[in-house]
Amino acid sequence: MPVSDPGSGLQQTTSYKVVLPFYVFAAVSFLISCTLLLLNTDIFHQHYFQPQTLAITHLMALGWGTMIILGASHQLLPVLIEGKLDSFLLALLSFIFAAVGIPLLVTGFYLFNTGLILQSGAVLINASVICYFLNVITSIGESKKYNIHAFFIATASLWLFTTTFFGLLLVFNFSRSWLPENSIEYLSIHAHMGIAGWFLLVIIGVASRLIPMFLISKYSSPVSLWWIFALINIALLGFIILKSSGAYPNFYYSPFLLVLIALILFGYYNYKAFKERIRKHVDKQMKISLLSVAMLLLPLLSLLVVIYSIRENSRSNMVLLYGFCIFFGWITALIMGMTFKTLPFIIWNKVYQIRAIGKTPAPKELFSEILFKVMGLLYLTGFILFFVGILLLNNLLLKTGAVTLLVSAIVYVINVLKTVFHQAKE
């Protein structure tokens, strides 16, 4: 049954009891990440392989980005495949394993306890991902709707498992030497499996459906999406093969030129969807989400500097900037926008769907638009200040940017909780 906005196309086919824990966990993770960033700004003066850097990166990647994507995809997968989620139990197990495993992993990294704490966290996270992967594959199989969006989600979930399993090997490699080289030698492969294979594919797969849906746009181009899908996967496989073969650094990053082409195609896809939209008014949630597409250029530029930088200290600094632009830039901007496009629909269905009579508020009235504006302004200000602070290695800018990002995270959490605990007024 469609929710109150008939143009949205969202359907309530997954229980809110399954979805909401992911959103709340992700919000708290973002708040903790920003707190740790403020307490550890000195890491941006050091090499990128540091316990605090690893902890913040994994909390942002898993606790923030992955958890909210898992929650949203459990809700949105039925829309993408025109079917239903196969197993609520697998979804619940996926949350439980991740909710226990992520804090263990992050704590292990932060304290650099490479023993039982870190290893237990890695095992539980892999158990969570296996549950999610099986749920995605069986749901798509039962729906028999093998569209391009289904291929994006299925392939992204496979890359997610590849990423976490390889991460598991790296964790045990700290103490058991399971791999031929030190774990640091494999970090770039592990990181780009997650960044390009998981985040980029799943975000494009979902966004290419949701952005036209929320804009009420008639634009559709499956051919463009198939090209984007192929280019990203070919680039990632090429990078892994070249990196593993010991190719010269400037050469093994060359496949990412294909990713640049894919992103240009995706940018054009969104431009066409925007131009052919029926809904002329674009709300602030969509503006931040569309801004995140443009923000992808920042990590790409940082990566170019990493590849061609001669000085080692400059290379290390740009690696940190690269990670910051991905997790605190592109992914965070997209999540901030999409949270308040999807979460209100989930809560609206929870509270009002059973009401046959009486006036009900629109989903957009369930969260505070004023808080959203404040959050957006604080976030963009904090991101810019911290970005410049990394470039200049300026402590004042780093601290000021971190404080501003933390305040934006606090406002985000308040608005999420306001939405989650919304009660119908008699």
CB 256 within 8 A of CB 303: yes
Cβ-in-10-Å burial (0-12, 13-18, 19+) of 392 comes to exposed
Which helix H or strand E contains 232, and what residues bound it?
helix 222-244
Backbone angles phi, psi at 109, to 5 degrees: -70, -45
pLDDT given at position 252: 67
Strand partners, 217: 277
Question: What is the pLDDT confidence band of residue 5, given thresholds at 50, 70 and 90?
Answer: very low
CB 372 within 8 A of CB 39: no
pLDDT given at position 297: 78
Higher-confidence residue of 301 and 368: namely 368
Which letter, b or e, does each residue of 2-33 get, where b requires 16 or more Cβ atoms within 10 Å of its Cβ? Answer: ebbbeebebbbbbbbebbbbbbbbbbbbbbbb
Strand partners, 2: 11
Helix, strand, or coil here: 319? helix
Q: Where are the beta strands (DSSP E) in 150-260?
A: none
Output the CA torsion sign for 137, 208, 289, 295. positive
Given 3-state DSSP classes, what are the helix, strand and coil percentages for the chain, each rounded to the nearest 5? 80, 0, 20
pLDDT digits (tens, 9 = 90+) for 248-296: 666 767 788 898 899 889 989 988 888 888 877 777 777 787 777 778 7
pLDDT given at position 7: 38
Q: Which CATH number fits domain 16-351+362-420: 2.40.40.20, 1.25.40.10, 1.10.10.60, 1.20.210.10?
A: 1.20.210.10
Which letter, b or e, does each residue of 152-168 get, where b requires 16 or more Cβ atoms within 10 Å of its Cβ? Answer: bbbbbbbbbbbbbbbbb
pLDDT digits (tens, 9 = 90+) for 54-72: 999 999 999 999 999 999 8
Q: Is the pLDDT of residue 2 over 60?
A: no
pLDDT given at position 4: 39
pTM of this prediction?
0.89
Q: Where do the structural domains in the chain lie, given as residue ranges? A: 16-351+362-420
